[in-house]
Amino acid sequence: MEQNRKIKKWAFRYTKGNAAIDSEIAALSAGSGLSTVMSTLLYTRGYRTVKQVEAFFRQETACLHDPFLMLDMKPAVERINQAIERGERIAIYGDYDVDGVTSVSLLYLYLTFYGADVGYYIPSRMTEGYGLSRAAIDRLKERGVKLMITVDTGITAIDETAYAASLGIETVITDHHECRPELPDAVAVVNPHRVGDPYPFKELAGVGVIFKVICALEMDRCRREGRPEMEGVSDICRTYADLVAIGTIADVMPVIDENRLIIALGLRMIENTKRPGLRALIDAATGGKNERYPKKRKINSGFIGFTIAPRMNAAGRVSRASIAVELLLAEDSNNAELLAEELCRLNLERQTEENRIAEEAYKKIDETLDREHDRVIVIDDDSWHQGIIGIVSSRITERYGLPSILISFDGTTQGEPLGTDIGKGSGRSIKGVNLVEALMHCEELLVRFGGHELAAGLSVRRCNIEAFRRKINTYAAEHLDEEALCVSVDADCEVGVRDLTMTLAQEIASMEPFGISNPVPNLVLRNVRIMRIVPMGGGKHLRLVLEKDGIELSAVWFGTGPAQFDFELWETVDLLFQLNINEFQNVTSLQLIVQDMRHAADFEEEFERQITRYEEIRGGAPYDLSEEVLPSRDDIALVFSLLRKEYRAGHTIFSMRRMLAMLSDTHINYIKLKFIIRIMQELQVCGVTEPSPDRYLFEFGYRAEKTNIDKSSILRKLKTQLRKS
């Protein structure tokens, strides 16, 4: 395995054995008609009654909360309506990520539908940075803007909002980032994270917040026209849920409550999208346009998160985010195709640059990281692309199991590097360290910062980086214990091989949409034997054939090739996986998507015990007949024949683990096998060398002569150590 990749801890949500909980799960299964495994998955996610389970699967717009519960919603609606009615120039000010892009597109489409005089502004990530700026506000003033509506940004823009007001521009702020004690003095500040905000669901994306504003606008319109308010909300959902879903998935928001409903509605819309831009991007990303008979794509949260969102994000990372907005607003198919192709090209450019930065970052970390004391990785460089360091930070945090912050001075240095140069940083964190709180602890060393618990951005002067590195590490050391430093992966529950049915796979599929707080279930199956290992994807992935209790299983391990696969054929392993339905040439079958693998716990414990016991017996300790230590002629012949057969097939080097796996159907254990190998070496029945501990190289002649095993001094000594019964 990779040297720097930590062994993952499997954190089980549920372990069988609690009589009370097991009884509740059984009752839930009986009442819902779902399998015990499925009932367990729902129970551990908080759905513990039949009524709650039904609510989980029910997807109705009536489940949406009243947007007017959010603070400042009423003045926001009144001011926006006033601007529409008066024909005032409105500017939508958004962020350059997918959440911001979809927010801008959503509000622009809604306002233009009602005839508003509206434009949008998205700052350049490279030249302007995150959030509002005076220079941008000056440009909006030149355009005659009277009302600025921020989306997915603005909650910390106190000075900028005041500056806009001094120029005669009023501001409505909509955001979902964490609030500071002081808020901007705007017409309205709509953010569910405001202190004292009574809105019942706080985990909306930026696009989710502006979606609620639009719902409130439509409810107000319905009220004035004498129509039912929910009629307007349903219309908004049917028209814009796709954009809200994309932004919410891309911003990795919890897929619960309103988010789950909105994403589910949006995914159904995207499958049959009428938006030329979305259709073109899906075709460009999957090759659908070039297929003679393109099959209907399954649109789920994974497809959006790993295929669509990265391409839309690439615009703001390496070019201009407005390309993605233009795509979503496109009405002409030809133009949409050109924009989609441009996003795919930019994404390839982003991937190349990302890999370059990642390799350079890994090298810096390996050379400088103090593994004993460092709790936050902070590294900087003058040439790293500022739009890409956030993605690389995510990779570093996953690889090393530590919070990480990458800082780039690209484009900010004039001539020789100076201490006053301001670098832009992007960070990712792990459970146990709230990144925004950690940055607040270092506030006096930073120019600015903002973000979420697990992801944040910052600006810092070059001269303060070392002090910042020390201070944030001191903070992390006080908040991170050794348990938190383990790379942990959630495991929902352990299953038996006969639980793995098409019915269970279909039940799990019905839990879509997946995401944070409703992840794809990770199941554990123990004591599985590896029967076949097949490289795929040019050696980047593996296809495995596994077996347990006579049942054969097909599995795929993406991102792990033969070089990273630390297991042998015939070995017994414990498996962490996701259950998937594979469709190929109109045939459906079960497929296990491997997330992690380790040597079987039962096997490992016995393996370690036998290593110790072997050394004791080799040193002269007595043993009992029941320990199966003393090899017979048949035992030695069996091992000899097996290894000679493998040798003739071109296999010469074997680990003890692999040989034991090959002999798993016999009574030959570790101790006996070690003595058999020593006896074969002593009697020179074949060539035996040990290039590394518990790893042997065998060489066989073409003719095998019969050997009297009684000539073995090792065997004779072993017989004297056998206890008399």
Show the domains of the chain with their CATH numbers.
9-58+490-599 (2.40.50.460), 63-264 (3.90.1640.30), 272-354 (no CATH), 369-486 (3.10.310.30), 603-721 (1.10.10)
Specify which residues 574 forms β-bridges with: 598
Could you give the percent of the chain with pLDDT greater than 90?
71
Average pLDDT, the chain: 91
Give the residue from 267, 180, 125, 52 showing the smallest Cα distance to 443. 180
Block residue for tokens 């500017």: 91
Tell me which residue of 709, 717, 631 sits closest to 669, measured CA to CA: 631
Task: For the chain, give the percent of residues with pLDDT over 70.
Answer: 95
* Among the listed residues 31, 24, 36, the one whose alpha carbon sits nearest the alpha carbon of residue 493: 36
Neighbour count for residue 477 (Cβ, 10 Å): 13
Cα–Cα distance, 640 to 638 (Å, whole number): 5
- The three-point CA angle 441-443-445 to 5° equals 115
Spatial distance between the Cα atoms of 426 and 442, rounded to a whole number of angstroms: 15
- The mean per-residue pLDDT over the stretch 568-597 comes to 90
Mean pLDDT of 318-323: 88
- With a cut of 70, say whether residue 485 has pLDDT above it: no
The pLDDT score that the predictor gives to residue 291 is 58
3-state DSSP call for residue 527? strand
Q: Is the pLDDT of residue 479 over 90?
A: no
Q: Is 154 a residue whose pLDDT tops 90? A: yes
Residue 123 CA to residue 633 CA, distance in Å, equals 80
Q: Is the pLDDT of residue 478 over 80?
A: yes
Per-residue pLDDT, averaged over 523-546, amounts to 93
Is the per-residue pLDDT at 125 higher than 90?
Answer: no
b/e for 19-34, b at 16 or more Cβ within 10 A? eebeeebeebbeebeb
Looking at residue 5, its pLDDT comes to: 46
For the chain, counts of helices (H) and of strands (E): 25, 21
The pLDDT value recorded for residue 567 is 87
**Residue 504 clears pLDDT 90, i.e. is over it:** yes
Long-range pairs for 666-671: beta carbons < 8 A, 24 or more residues apart: 666/638, 667/628, 668/628, 668/631, 668/635, 668/638, 668/639, 669/610, 669/628, 670/607, 670/610, 670/611, 670/614, 671/610, 671/613, 671/614, 671/617, 671/627, 671/628, 671/629
Mean pLDDT across the stretch 435-446?
93
What confidence category does residue 606 fall into, taking pLDDT thresholds of 50, 70 and 90?
confident
What does the pLDDT look like over 286-304, one tens digit per residue? 886 655 555 566 789 999 9
Residue 573 tokens read as: 């392993």
Identity of residue 552: E
Handedness of CA 623, 625, 626, 632 (dihedral sign): positive
List residues bridging with 554 in a β-sheet.
Answer: 545
CA angle in degrees (0–180, nearest 5) for 212-213-218: 95
SS3 of 591, please?
strand
Q: How confident is the model at residue 276 (pLDDT cuts 50, 70, 90)?
A: very high
Q: How far apart are the first and last CA of the chain?
A: 47
Q: Would you give the distance in Å from CA 232 to the centre of its chain?
A: 36
- Higher-confidence position of 417 and 548: 548
What would the two tokens of residue 563 be? 């070089």
- In the prediction, which pLDDT does 551 show? 95
Residue with tokens 């020593």: 678
Average pLDDT (137-161) is: 96
Q: Tell if the pTM clears 0.75, that is, is over it.
A: yes
Q: What's the CA gap between 545 and 280, in Å, rounded? A: 37
